[in-house]
Each structure stands twice: as structure tokens, then as C-alpha cells.
Structure 1
């Protein structure tokens, strides 16, 4: 090290007499006192910034090369001991700070598996060195703690291929603040729209859309929101605003629509045209009832000239029994009404009862807060109280916590089981405090000849506790992010949880349900994924989600009313085809996003078109796929097309991604072949009917696709049928060709 560098960078430790006490005071070569460097608020954030305590380095469970840090620095006491006392004290040298192994390895002056992480001339190096030179002081209770951080600007509209430098300020408990931009960790949730580098420079790409950048310093997180508009210049933006003026005047002025148009104006995106009536009746019938619209329904709807016919259609669909059956299937997935894993013959009665309870609750439009409370607080036997079936599958602390958090609060807290959540406020105390709510859930009786008892009674035990795995502290029941419940010795903590969860002030409960239903109807949640709400994954339209949530609460948690509002929104009524003004949009709902039919709806749709019900083993004849009591009813078709195993509360378990097996199933399925050839089926009836060829084609299109054939389609199909000598085989080919098209397989 040169003499000049020593003059400018080395600290001199002077012993200053203060009465009878000697105090170490750090002075720079210029004679100015150096600010105290605190381990928790100065050193740990640098280790996080450099990636030292990340999961791929020393922060993983086993550490790296004998050196282990807490993941992302959430346990500074543990980190201090690892740095200062472990490894024979070689990592920190108070007498010769520059020779500390911590600095030697980080600057690659000593071989380091992680490569060079620091430059000797950097501010981070100086801070680490200052801390060592000041005596490598440990974290103390009276050290200033980090109150919050702020990122500036908080939001910005960026033109494509432009940039914005962020500035992060940290505020401490002693009233001080400082710029921590260089020590902050950044991450974009949509790097393809707006990427961010290690210095906090955000660069917008040529893609349009919304992105959020997380800024994390210490335990605090702030978020920068960026919008890259579709209209790239002033003239295009003015043209888009003019089009939006016309469209908004033509739309109804509901609060939802006003907020949709507000975002479209901000983004300079023009929505697609409103979908035609044939498209809308098919779409709404599938989404509300999980059922195809019949040709009679389509014909009557197309002839209806009333201006409010879409609202009337929604009300009619919500009153149909299929609505309750279809959404009961959805909730059976979320609540893991599972039959696999143990004796089907012994457990089928239970899954059937729970499935029926779900269906009855939805059919009666039971208020959502009551619905959830009855599940969480269920006691007794499955025969007397079917919601108690939930406790048969959800049995252990992790299952309680993660199922409740994902299903009803829309958050993922799995990380907090082992360490502080890296991008949220959830700690291990939050995780195990929620687990403690269920620590007194007891079980007795039941048929225990299998992996899980099939008929047991749920009751409240006298005692039960949960211990913090790191501190050994017994944790009292508490909600996520909340204080301990005030409980008497005979009180059921589950009742307190249900009361807290369904409170109008709960920031997650109503929002989660509103977001879940928005995703069901629009193909994507305002928060996406729908059960991953966090500060670093904000809603694409926060005002809209707030409005839906508040309306839901004000209605008394009326699920049907929430469905009605969403189904009548401008976005839900749009055509799915993009145009030049919204091509690439996947966040603002400026068009309807097509999605493949779920496995059960697809199979039922084929059965409906071909008038050949699926025969399911072990259930009554005529049972539809959306009415099955559990996922353990054998049906190869359903498994191929993504029926979930119901192992978690995450809707992501239901797979709709394309696969080779699905194409082969459409071509070679014995079930589809049976439906096409059964003597009592639709294909056989058409083959022996006296209808003209054109009438047959028109009826087939209406039945399968909910629309009449286009002129060119009619001509082609008529010519095809006329050219075939075997009329029955030709009709089967026509029917198969339609149910194998994307138009049939997708809701669009």
C-alpha cells in the first residue's frame, strides 16, 4: 500500500483519557472524527449487497467452506459471532484492519471462491474497514435501528428505451438519515419491461407495460413503480386519448370501468372492440357454470334485443345449479379435498360430504366471511360438520400456516418457516405464531387402517404449544403480522383467528377473494400470481383492486354480487383479438386473455356436444366431471389435461400448459372415440336425421362453438359431407374436427 493511500485511508486509533476511563476514538489523517459504524445498519447491508449472505453463498443452510451467515442478514447476532469469533478469529483483525480475511477475500487479494466482490477504493470497503478499525463492535440494543427507507422517485412514466436513476434514503431511530443508494439491493419484477442494475439505474426496454423495482436495505423494502406507455410519443398519445374518449362515453360509468379507463389513459393503450353476443354467451356460460352454452340458448340470446341482456344473462347463470357445482370444484382444489393417498372406499363418504357442503354454501350464496369462518373453526365429526374434513388433509403446522395464508390471505409465507422472508415482513415468529393458533386441535376416533384416519372427530385439546425453532421460546397464538390474541384458558384460538381474518379492516382477506375472482374471469389477477401478494409484487391496478375489495366488504361479502360486477366490467366484455394499439398487453386488461378450458370443463363440454356422458368408476351414472367428489376418481383424460393432485392450496397446481400427451389424447382417446360412436349419441342421431346437409352443419357449429358457421365454413363443410359416401363417418369426422380446434378448447 502506498504512502499516499495510507495517509488518506488508514485510521489512527488514539487512546484519549476521559477521567479514569480510556475510550477508543477513531480519527482520520486529516483530524476529523469518523462516524461510528454500526454492525446492524452499516455492515450487514453491505454483506447483503455483495451477495455474501445469499442462498447461493454463505447464507445457505450449510454455509460455504465453513463460513455460515444468516440468510440475507436477518440475524445480526449470529452473523457477528461468525465473523468475529469463528475461524480462529482470522476473519477480522482489529490491529491490522486491511489484513482482515473478510477484506482480503472480498478484494481477491486472497483466493476467493466467490471472486472479487469489492474494490479497495470503494465506499463499501471503507465502511467495512472503519468498522474493524473502530474495534469491530457488536450489535447493541441501544444502536440506532433502521426505521424505514424511501425510494425517489416513487413512480415514473418512462418512454421506451429511456432510463431513470433511483435514490434511496435510509431513516434511523436516532433521527438521522443518509443516502444508501449504493448499498441497496434492487430487483425488477418485470425485467423485460424495465431492468435495474446494481447502482439503481432503471432502464426501460422497447416493450410496453408495468413493472415494479424492489429496493431493499437491511430489513426494509421500498418499491419504485414504472409504466412504459404503449403510445410512444405525443401524437400517438393524443390519438389514443381521443379514441378512449369515444369508448368511455359508450361504456357504462361504473366505478370499475372508470378505473379501467383511467389506467388505459395513463398507459396510452386502446382496448379491443366489445365482443359479439355469441362470443359473450359462450364465455360467460363457461366461466360461471363451467358448461357450454346450448344451441337453443345461443339462438334465443342472439334474438334478444333488450339493452340489458348481458346483465340478465349473468343473473340467469348465477341462478343455475351448475354455478355452485363449478365453483365447488374450484374450492375443493384450494381446500385440498383429497381422496388419493389412502383407502378410497373408506374416505369417499367424507370427500363427498365436504364437496356437497361447498356446493350448498355457494348455491345459497353464503357470505364469504361466514364460509371461511365455518371452515377454520370446524369441530366434530365429518358426518355432523362436513367442513371438519379440511382437518383430515391439513394436519401439520406447515400445512395449517401455508394453506390458511395462501387460500384466504393470498400470501406465501413458506420462506418464514426457516428464516425471515427475503422480500416481506414475515418472520419466523409470524410463521410459528400462526401455527400456534392450531396447536390445540385434537383428533380422536376414526378408521385408522390407512395413512390418514378416514373418520375422526376434531376437538379442542386442553394444552398445545409451538416452540420457536431457533430461540426455543414458546409462542402464543397470533395472526400474521399482528399481536398475540388475548385468550382465556378455555378459549379456542381459531375463533380469534376467524374474527381477525374476516374483519373489514383486514388488509388481505377481501382483496384476496376479489383478486381470485378477477383472475378467474379475466385470466390473470390484478396481483399475479394470485396468491403471492407482497410489496414487491404489487397489483397492476391498485385502485381497481381496492374498489373491488371495498365493494365486496360493503355488500356483506356477497360473492354473487362480486361475480356480477366483474362479469359486467368493460374488460370482461372485450374481444380477445389484439390490435395495433394493444398488441402485447398482458397487464392492463385492454383485451380478453384467452385461456384453455380446464380438464373437467373440457371433458364435460365434449360429453355435452356428443350427448355421451362420461362413465366414472365408483360414482353414480350421469355424474359430470365438475361434480366429482374428489380428484381420486379415475379418469385418464382429466389427468392428461392438468387435473391437480390437491397437495397444496395453490391454484398453480392446476396445469394448463400444452403437452404432447394432450395432442395424442385428442387423436387417440378411447373416451372420445366412444362418445363419437355410441349408438345413443348425437353423432348417430344426426346420421339418421332427415335434415339437409346445410342444416346439419349449422346445428353442429352452434352446438360445438356457440355460433353459426361463417359462409366459407358452411360451404366447405357441406361439400365435405356431400363428398363422403359414409354419412355417419363424415359427421363424426366433422364433430371431431370442431372439438379438437382451439376455438373449442379455449375460452376466448
Structure 2
């Protein structure tokens, strides 16, 4: 028996098969007769003469048996001194690992056969039995010489039938049939060699043979993987019998509605009715601008009877400063704007980098610059303008930093994106770039093949090459000029924080200080390349030297050494890639902001193994976005004008559990910045609330960066409500989960109570209108003093009359008359102040409280309850404050619905 020898000489080789997914329906198309039968059928007998292929058969079979999975030999450490590439992406590594465990002279004695059959002890348990087809495949491969892969064969397509499965009850089953279409023209049934996984085992399960069984009602996907291909297959089980012809006729006036209704008709889900005008106004205002509508705005919108008022409101909101502010905040989330990661990037001060970043994006969102143009000026950003020296650049940046009339937003590109301390290494840049602009997680491929997509470790390594020449030089790209500036400032002897403090002082004094610079370095040439260039120059020829090759994910290779700036190839690829991941990532994130979940969820995991819940809908939005010239407002308008967005949150019998198909509005907690601003705005007086919608200074919506610490004030509040930490390449950095701390903040935090009692608040204005408390107290004290004086004079008068002292009686009567004259107007004034407001006044106050918090008029029952409470309150102002506090603490206020 040949025993294994341990080796660490793992050499990696992989190839990416560009996979086209062909769907042929329930039966195979013409040409099916030429499909080679499955390995299971061909190797049932031990006397078969065929020799299995390592790429097509042996490696996939190891995947079926679990040998190259994460829990076995496919882990980073391997098992028992034996390691395979995860999911079999590296043929050379796998063949080398197996070669120590096979015996071609006596194949049955091969360790690779003895372990999985438990002839030899195996921690992984029994994986196959002697005489079964799996064992025969391995045996025949060893008998045939155990050959590896010289040149990997390209897999043109993986054809799976049926292309969609629809069940009608639980415990039904449907077998899948999978055909591999190879570049040499052969087609083979590989059903028994694929890896099958389910994305939701409560809805559908799948066994190792590709037999899908139904579970609960709903929809999900089965994911089929073979060689380099990953193919998702939709699986549906309708929630009702109202499908197909039984589905009611619904008006679908937009393409969004047509795609959504088409899916709902398959699922038997009846969508909710259209939302009320009040619900729509509050929802779209919060979603699009992160801002509550004012009470005045609600009244006017509800009173407007025109048919196009919703469309006009959408257009109005898209032109508001708050729209630009809120979507700038979200773009800053996705691009990673944070003081924490921009530490010491801007020598002016610690916060200046994030402020510049925010202002740069805000200007472009406000001007509706096309999204691809914004991204281009991030991706290919340069510090210097053409012909500008490093000193000139530093002078310009110094002007931006100290001159209030100048703005970094006028700079062509956003260099800070490349200056983050978590974006320096090439692997970090590859991962961060894919996350930010493609909504894709490729970090798995940093170490092994992506388990749910086609990316391999080699793809990742080749993609990294686009970033090797991009440098963010903190000491500038021209060291000589940098040193000259430092010498002129007298800072050559200072280091670190001390030097930075003195630079900041020099800047305030009007001096030019050196700034960090984004540069593209020249390619590093090998000795052979230098000699070839020298020889060409001697002959007077232009050197033609092949350089370092980089691969655009899943697509062509690029010679990055022969491009002035490799990032231009990346930007061209984002626009032109047939995957449309660039457009899909943006529209999917925008959709998620409006619907509480993306068409692909999570929103930063666009991959073949995580397909969209409505593929045609995502394709439509992505293509429409591209056709619009990447007009961001087109996406917002298209979504908000749809019946799908304008549906009520009130569920129907069939959609109460729907979370994937957008059949109703899903109540969702307000994002952190929106929640804080909503509390602020609801408690402001009318004039300041009106200004709050257009003047953005001081709003939570415009906070440029997560704080370094959140010990109190607005930073604490935003932390409690889950603002994005912008720490990692994950949309989950922003939290929408409810928590006890949020409840405590709204109920009794000093910030909330201060807003309610603020001198500039609505309650204070109501108090001033109803009565002046300090004047009332003074009147009351004066009345009490005069009444005491009158009582005293009356006692003295009674005694004087008893004593028949006429002179004293006359004198006391005059004094009493004087006191009565003083008391009468004060008593009338006190009586007027103590009068309760009319019922009509109270109704108006209650309506105002509801309009400025939950953006609707109170119901009759709510009006009655509030009226009773205010009438029973000893202090009207305290009663109104209690009403406002109660409304701020309702779910209706703290969620968008």
C-alpha cells in the first residue's frame, strides 16, 4: 500500500470558466440525443473501459463526496496532513496532493481508496463503498494512470432543467437534470457530479442527487455548482390558489409594477391597496429627503385634490437640499467616509478630510451629476491638475483649507477615497473596490475559490494588479519640493503630532503647507524588460515590452504596465461589463432604502449564488439607469411613482408574511440621522420647522463622519440609533435593529426633554400664546395682598362702627374704596387668565401635535382621548407636553410606513 508523504509544496493553478447559463425549460432541446450519459450510469459495472477525466469527473466527484469541503480536506489546514483546494478549483494542487495517496501499480491499495471506504480508519467517516459507481470512477482513474490536467478545458455553459420549479403542496419533489456544455463541443450529463445547496431550507430542500423537495409556501433558489459554473434555479410554492388565471386583474402602469405583479401572480399574493395621501407624503418625505413634512405641508397636500399631486411632490422633493444631503450621507456610507480611517490625511485638522469628502459628493448630488461621472472622478482621481507642480498643488489645497469662500468640492477628483488607512494594501483595495462599486463580496477568493460565485484565488490575485501602482503619498509625490516646504516653515526638526500642530498654525497664518498626494507610479521592470528596452532604443525602435497582466473579474486580461493609469481600465470596465454589476449595485441599494430590503439581499452580496428575488425587475432598473445616462433622479422617480412603492403597509390575507416580493410597504425603523432630525423638527416652533427643511447646518443628516467616541449629544443619539460606523466593507455597518437604548433615549434622555422644553420649541410658543406665567404669578400675589388688606380694613371698620368713632369710620371707608378700585381690574385679569381655552382651540392644538409628529389628523377616538386628558390637566401646558411626549414615543412616529 502506498502511504502519503507530507509536503508543503502546494503550487496553485486555476482557470475561470466564463459561464453562460442556458435555460431550456422542462425538456431538452434538439441535440439531447448527443448528450453523454451520466457517470453514474456509465460506471455501474466494474468492467467499464473508459478512463475518467480529472477535471470533468474526479474533482467534481470529490466535491459531491464532501472531500474538498470546508469541514474536510478543503479547509485551510486540511485534515490528516492532506489538503485539497476548496471546492476543487486548483487542479494542480489537488493532483499533487492525491499523487502521494495513489498506487498505480496496485490501485486497490491506494490510500485514496482505502480511507473513504473505511478499510483504513478515516475521521471523515465512510464516503463510498467498494463496488459502487463512485469507487469505480476513482479506481478506473488510477488504473488509467491517474493523469492530471495539462490544459483545462473551458466550460461554455451549464444547462439546468427545469429552469424554474413551481410546487403546489409540501412534500412534492422534482429532479434536476444538469448538462455540461464543453468548448470542444461535447455535452455530458453531470447531474450526479454537481454540488447542490438551498438558499432557504424551510421552502425547499435538495439532496446530493439533485432532487428538490418542497417545504413551506414561499420562494427561494436552489444553487447548482459544477466546475467553474454556478447556476441558481428559482423554486416557488404559491401562498394561495389565486395564481395564473385566478389572479385578479391589476393595473400595472409602470414597468416596475409589471415585473412585480408578474411575480406576485405566480406566488398567488394579492398586493395591498394604495396608501393614503398622508401615508404617502410622510413615507416619501422621509425616504427621499430624510425629513418629516411640516404640519403646514401635510395640510396643503391633503387639501390638494389634483390627480398629479403625488408626482409633483416627488419632483419637488428631488429638488430640495435635504434630498441632496440624505443621499450624500448614503453615498458616504458606501464609499467609506470616516475620520477614523482618514487619520492625519489632511494636515489642516482631523475632521477636514471627512468634511471635504461630504461637501465634494453633496455638490455633485445637488447638481445631479451622473452617477458614473461621480464614480469616475473617485476612481481615477488625481491630486495635481495638468502642468501643476507639487508646490502649486499644496498652495491650492492650502487655500481650500483656510478660505471660507473656497471649497474642496471644486476639486475635480476625490483623492481621499484612496487615502484611507484601511485602503492601502492592494488586497484591501481589491475588496473595497468590489464592495463599493459592484456590491460584491470577493474577499473569499483572497484565499480560495468563492463558494457561491465563479471567482477563484487566481482571479483575485490578478484583479489586485490594477491597484499596485496607486500610491497615496502622505509626504507628497515630489520629496524635494516637500522638504523645501518643510524647511521654509521651520518644521524640519519636528515630527509626528508636534509637526502637524505647527502646520495647522502655519496654515491659519496664511502660509502654504505640504499636503498628501495621490500618485500613479511607473511600472517596475524586470532585468530582462530593461535589457529589451535598451536594445530597442539602440536600434531606434519603440520598445514593445509585455508587462504585468491583470484580469478584470471574470473577463479579459489587461497589460497594466503599458497603461498610464490602470484605473482607467477599471472605470471603462464598470461601464461596459455585460454583468452590469456597477448599475445593479446602485439601483439595488437605492431600492433597499425605499423597501427595507434589496432585490438582492444582502445588498452588498450580488453573486450567482445569491440571486435576485425578482431578476427581471433588477435587470429593468439597471438597464434603465444606464439608458438614462446614470441619472440618479431617474431611479428615485421611477421607484416612487410606482404603485409598488405607493402601496399601503396594511397587509392582505395573502401578503401578511411576504418579505421578498414587495407586495406591501414594510414598516421600518427610521435611520439614525432621520430619527434624530424627526424628533428635533417635531418639537420646533413653526418658523424654525420651516427653515429646518431647507437650512441644513447642524442637522444630523449632514454629520460628515461617525464620531471617534459617542459620549453624549447628537453623537450619542446617532450611535444609539445605529448610524453607519463605516468600519468595514459591509452595508451592515448601518443597523436598523430596535434596542432598549433607543426607547430610553426617546422617553427620558436629557436631549429629548430639552427639545420638548426648548425656548425655540413649539410648546414654548403655545405657552406664550395662552398665557404669560410670570405675569400671572405677579397678579395672583397682588390680588392676595389686596384681599388681605381689605379683610383687615373691614375688621377695623366694624370695630370703629361699634365704638361710634365717626372720624375713623369715614377714614376706613375711604381706604376700603381705594383698595376695591385697585382690586377690581386685577381680579378681572386673573379671571381672564384662568379661563380654559375653548374646545375649538384645544382641537386645533391636538391636530397640530398629530400633524407635526405622525403627519396626519387624529382620528375621532384619538381626538376624544386627548381632549379629555387636556381638560382634566391642572396645567394646560403640561398636558400638551405630555401629549407630544406620548406621540414621540409611539411606534407610528419612530417607523416609516
TM-score (norm. length: structure 1): 0.87
Match of 1:41 in 2: 56
User: In 2, Cα distance between the equivalents of 1:365 and 1:644?
Assistant: 24
Matched, 1:682 2:762: yes
- The answer to whether 1:492 aligns with 2:565 is yes
Q: Match of 2:860?
A: 711
User: Given the superposition, is the C-alpha separation of residues 505 and 70 from structure 1 closer, same or farther in structure 2, using an over 3 Å criterion?
Assistant: closer
Match for residue 369 of structure 1?
A: 372
C-alpha displacement of 1:147: 4.2
Q: Distance in 1 between matches of 2:873 and 2:108?
A: 89
| Distance in 2, Cα, partners of 1:28 & 1:170 | 18
Q: Tell me by how many angstroms 1:570 deviates.
A: 1.2
Contact 2:256 2:644 in 1 (8 A): no
Q: Which residue of 2 aligns with 1:11?
A: none
The answer as to 2:135 corresponding to 1:60 is no
How much does 1:145 deviate?
5.8
1:211 aligns with 2:211: no
Q: Is the 8 A contact 1:432 1:475 kept in 2?
A: no
Cross-structure match for 2:496: 449
Contact 1:350 1:386 in 2 (8 A): no
Structure-2 change in CA distance of 1:604 and 1:451 (3 Å): farther
SS in 2 for 1:347: coil
| 1:387 aligned residue | 414
Shift, 1:76, TM fit: 1.5
Answer yes or no: is 1:135 the counterpart of 2:145.
Answer: yes
Pick from 68, 71, 83 the counterpart of residue 98 of structure 2. 83
Normalised to the residue count of structure 2, the TM-score between the two structures is 0.73
Shift of 1:524: 1.7
Structure-2 separation of matches of 1:126 and 1:480: 38
Q: 1:333 touches 1:649 (CA, 8 Å); kept in 2?
A: no
Please tell me whether the aligned partners of residues 696 and 702 of structure 2 are also in contact (alpha carbons under 8 angstroms): no
Superposition deviation, residue 505 in structure 1: 5.0
Give me the whole-angstrom Cα distance separating, in 2, the residues matched to 1:736 and 1:589.
33
Query: Could you give the per-residue CA deviations for residues 194-217 of structure 1, whole angstroms, max 9, x where no partner exists?
Result: 221222111122222x21111112
Which residue number corresponds to residue 262 of structure 2? 262
Cα distance, 1:662 vs structure 2 = 2.5
Q: Is the 8 A contact 1:439 1:464 kept in 2?
A: no
Moved more, 118-127 or 287-296: 118-127
**Partner of residue 350 from structure 1, selected from 345, 349, 353:** 353
CA separation of 1:463 and 1:487: change in aligned 2, threshold 3 A: closer
Matches within 5 A, 1:332-343: 332-340=332-340, 342=343
* Match among 428, 433, 437 for residue 399 of structure 1: 428
Q: Is the counterpart of residue 568 in structure 1 residue 641 in structure 2?
A: yes
Distance 2:48 2:133 in 1: 17
Equivalent residues of 1:666, 1:672 under 8 A apart: yes
Tell me whether 1:628 sits opposite 2:703 in the alignment: yes
Distance (whole Å) between structure 1 residues aligned to residue 122 and residue 704 of structure 2: 58
**Is the counterpart of residue 237 in structure 1 residue 243 in structure 2?**
yes
Alignment-derived partner of residue 6 in structure 1: none
Residue matched to 2:132 = 122
Kindly indicate whether the alpha-carbon contact (under 8 Å) linking 2:243 and 2:266 is maintained by their aligned counterparts in 1.
no
> 2: CA distance between counterparts of 1:47 and 1:138?
14
- Partner of residue 506, structure 2: none
Structure 1 residues 180 and 513: CA distance shift in structure 2, 3 A: same
Cα drift, residue 278 of structure 1:
0.1
In structure 2, the CA distance between the partners of 1:528 and 1:450, relative to structure 1 (3 Å rule), is: farther
Provide the C-alpha distance between the structure 2 equivalents of 1:541 and 1:676, rounded to a whole number of angstroms.
45
- Tell me if structure 1 keeps the 8 A contact 2:548–2:561: no
Alignment match, 1:726 = 875
Aligned with residue 438 of structure 1, among 459, 463, 467: 467
C-alpha distance in structure 2 between counterparts of 1:310 and 1:401, whole Å = 42
Equivalent position SS for 2:231: strand
SS at match of 2:414: helix
Alpha-carbon distance change, 299 to 108 in structure 1, aligned in 2, over 3 angstroms = same
Deviation at 1:521, TM superposition (A): 1.3
Matched, 1:642 2:722: yes
Q: Aligned with 2:523: secondary structure? A: coil
Secondary structure, in 3 states, of the residue corresponding to 2:557? coil
Match for residue 424 of structure 1?
A: 453
User: Given the superposition, is the C-alpha separation of residues 31 and 705 from structure 1 closer, same or farther in structure 2, using an over 3 Å criterion?
Assistant: closer
Which deviates further from its counterpart, 387-396 or 701-710?
387-396
1:276 match: 276
Shift of 1:44: 1.1
**Equivalent position SS for 1:224:** strand
Task: Choose from 884, 887, 891 the match for 1:735.
Answer: 884
Counterpart for residue 104 of structure 1: 114
Shift of 1:679: 3.1
Distance 1:133 1:606, change over 3 A: same
Name the CA distance, whole Å, in 2 between partners of 1:455 and 1:729: 56
Q: How far does residue 422 in structure 1 lie from its aligned partner after superposition?
A: 2.0
Structure 2 counterpart of 1:286: 286
Aligned partner of 2:834 in structure 1 is none
Q: Distance in 2 between matches of 1:315 and 1:695?
A: 31
Q: Unaligned stretches of 5+ in structure 1? A: 1-26, 86-90, 467-472, 615-619
Q: Could you give the per-residue CA deviations for residues 283-331 of structure 1, whole angstroms, max 9, x where no partner exists?
A: 0000111000111111000011110111000000001100000001001
Q: Does 1:324 align with 2:354?
A: no
Report SS of the residue matched to 1:124: helix
Query: Number of matched residues?
Result: 695
Q: Pick which of 304-313 and 95-104 moved more.
A: 95-104
Q: Which runs of 5+ in 2 are unaligned?
A: 1-41, 384-392, 398-407, 477-494, 501-513, 527-545, 690-694, 771-836
Query: Which one of 520, 529, 532 corresponds to residue 460 of structure 1?
Result: 520
Q: Secondary structure at the match of 2:462?
A: helix
CA change 1:451–1:715 in 2 (3 A) is farther
Q: Which has the higher helix share?
A: 2
SS in 2 for 1:400: helix
Aligned mate of 2:236, from 224, 227, 231: 227
2:239 alignment partner, SS class: coil
Q: What's the offset of the Cα at 1:334?
A: 0.8
Matched with 2:299 is 299
Who is 1:4 aligned against? none
Please say which of residues 576-585 and 316-325 is displaced more in the overlay: 576-585
Structure 1 residues 369 and 127, CA gap change in structure 2 (3 angstroms): same
